[in-house]
Amino acid sequence: MPYQEALEALFEAFRANGILCKWNEPLAGHTSFKIGGRAALSVWPTGRAQIILVLSLWRDFGDGCPLCVLGKGSNVLISDKGFCGLVVITTKAKRVVYEEDEVEDRDAFRRGVYCHVYTECGASLTALALACGDEDRALSGLEFAYGIPGTVGGAIVMNAGAYGSDVERVLISAEYYDLSSGEIATLMDEQMELDYRHSIFLEHPEWVVLSGVFKLSFGNGEEIRAKMRANIESRREKQPLEYPSAGSVFKRPVDNFAAKMIDTAGLKGVSVGGAQVSEKHAGFIINRDNATADDVRKLVCLVRDEVEKLYRYRLECEIRYVSDGLDGDCGWEYVE
Ligand SMILES: Cc1cc2nc3c(=O)[nH]c(=O)nc-3n(C[C@H](O)[C@H](O)[C@H](O)COP(=O)(O)OP(=O)(O)OC[C@H]3O[C@@H](n4cnc5c(N)ncnc54)[C@H](O)[C@@H]3O)c2cc1C
């Protein structure tokens, strides 16, 4: 196996520091597509400090072995060959701190307008939205995020959004670890270059998001929860949630909708192997029957080609392909 020595050194270093790690973990189980081969070595840091430790150990002992970071794997397609390096899975780093819990007079604080919510990168976005909207907190701003099945880190990187809002509207800063220098830095507001399904982190795969701070306003708990219920009902009605998928495969073109274009091209229900363009929502590709990453990639190409013939427009992929890493880089590409 390539990088065997480096991976063994990392395994020993993680074990010596009490950090959970495993050989040959099947990655399919860590993705919403339920597709993908095994990771040579996987590690589950339990908080910000352990993530920093894992990444600095990788700098010390990794010896060039590829590294990739996964949140909940809900926007990725992982190679059937798996990943030959280290996969850092962030879902156990999920501490959340509410500014109002830190102040002495909560009622006086609440008369102000906003509350800052600090969260580690592995916190579930949906769980965070729920907790913010509970009776006690009634914090408004993350209603759109309820039902997006990712982590805060993945949502920051992708600038996740839905129902007329997105991360950009509520995120005020993000802290990251730079794998190339070993330094930790914080980006504020425009520095994160948040735009439709885009952030500066997509251009810097060597930056690992450690945490983010959201600015939420105090609202009416009933209204917040009603909005979240309406959003999830609309998802259940419109999206093929009964099948594994990675959500919308393509970005929304200006002045049109990918799903509408795919539908008009007559592609609803079209399959390659076990992968199918959803009959319910043409923007989704579903894993209908033991699909492979290869099936999905071929179907993505077919859809893009057919839509291009009709519209003279090439759809851009939103989901990220994780290659096997054998070419030595971190493995991230857009699905082509
Ligand atoms: C049924 C369904 C519905 C969906 N609906 C929506 C929707 O309405 N709106 C929307 O925007 N998205 C939607 N998605 C897509 C997905 O849930 C979001 O993009 C989500 O934000 C991805 O988070 P994740 O933790 O799963 O990221 P992953 O899929 O694990 O990773 C995505 C990318 O982010 C990188 N990454 C993850 N964590 C970090 C980190 N800490 N530091 C650096 N890089 C990191 C990964 O390397 C990868 O490049 C949907 C997906 C599904 C399956």
Of 93, 120, 151, the one marking the end of a domain is 93
In whole angstroms, what is the distance from residue 79 CA to residue 74 CA? 14
Q: What is the 3-state secondary structure (H, E, C) of 10-44?
A: HHHHHHHCCCCEEEEEEHHHHCCCCCCCEEEEEEC
Does 334 map to a domain? no
- Provide the CATH number for the domain around residue 26: 3.30.43.10
Express each pLDDT in 298-315 by its tens digit. 999 999 999 999 999 999
Mean pLDDT, range 147-156, rounded to an integer: 98
Mean pLDDT, range 272-277, rounded to an integer: 98
Residue 192, CB half-sphere, CA atoms under 13 Å: how many? 30
Express each pLDDT in 52-76 by its tens digit. 999 999 999 998 899 999 999 999 9
Identify the residue whose tokens are 């992968």.
275
Quote the pLDDT of residue 154: 98
* Number of domains observed in the structure of the chain: 3
118 and 212, same domain (yes or no) = yes
Q: Calculate how far, in angstroms, residue 36's C-alpha sits from the geometric centre of ligand 1.
A: 16
Residue ID of nearest Cα to ligand 1 atom 52: 247
- Ligand 1 atom nearest the C-alpha of 332 is 49
- Provide the CATH number for the domain around residue 162: 3.30.465.10
Q: Is residue 296 pLDDT above 90, yes or no?
A: yes
192 and 291, same domain (yes or no) = no
Q: Calculate how far, in angstroms, residue 75's C-alpha sits from the geometric centre of ligand 1.
A: 4
Quote the pLDDT of residue 111: 84
Query: Of the residues 51, 69, 75, 175, which should be mutated to test ligand 1's pocket, given the most ligand atoms within 8 Å of the CB?
Result: 75
Q: Is residue 332 pLDDT above 80, yes or no?
A: no
Is-contact 98 137, C-beta < 8 A? yes
69 and 161, same domain (yes or no) = no
Quote the pLDDT of residue 331: 54
- Rg of the chain on CA atoms, in Å: 20
Q: Which two tokens stand for residue 295?
A: 């099936």
Quote the pLDDT of residue 112: 81
Task: List the alpha helices (DSSP H) in 161-314.
Answer: 167-170, 200-203, 221-238, 258-264, 293-311
Express each pLDDT in 235-270 by its tens digit. 999 999 999 999 999 999 999 999 999 999 999 999
Q: Calculate how far, in angstroms, residue 5's C-alpha sits from the geometric centre of ligand 1.
A: 32
Is-contact 141 125, C-beta < 8 A? no
Express each pLDDT in 166-201 by its tens digit. 999 999 999 999 999 999 999 999 999 999 999 999
Express each pLDDT in 89-100 by its tens digit. 999 999 999 998
118 and 15, same domain (yes or no) = no
Catalytic residues: 197, 248, 318
106 and 181, same domain (yes or no) = yes
- Ligand 1 atom nearest the C-alpha of 122 is 41
Give the binding-site residues of ligand 1, using a 6 Å CB cut-off: 32, 68-76, 90, 121, 148-151, 153-155, 157-158, 160-162, 201, 208-209, 239, 241, 245-247, 320, 332
- Ligand 1 atom nearest the C-alpha of 239 is 1
3-state secondary structure of 145: helix
Centroid of chain to Cα 239:
18
Is-contact 258 196, C-beta < 8 A? no
Of 39, 59, 93, the one marking the end of a domain is 93
Quote the pLDDT of residue 273: 98
Of 93, 109, 135, the one marking the end of a domain is 93
211 and 252, same domain (yes or no) = no
- Sign of the dihedral through C-alpha 35, 206, 173, 200: negative
177 and 260, same domain (yes or no) = no
Q: Calculate how far, in angstroms, residue 266's C-alpha sits from the geometric centre of ligand 1.
A: 28
Whole-number average pLDDT of the chain: 95
The domain of 289 spans: 240-321
212 and 100, same domain (yes or no) = yes
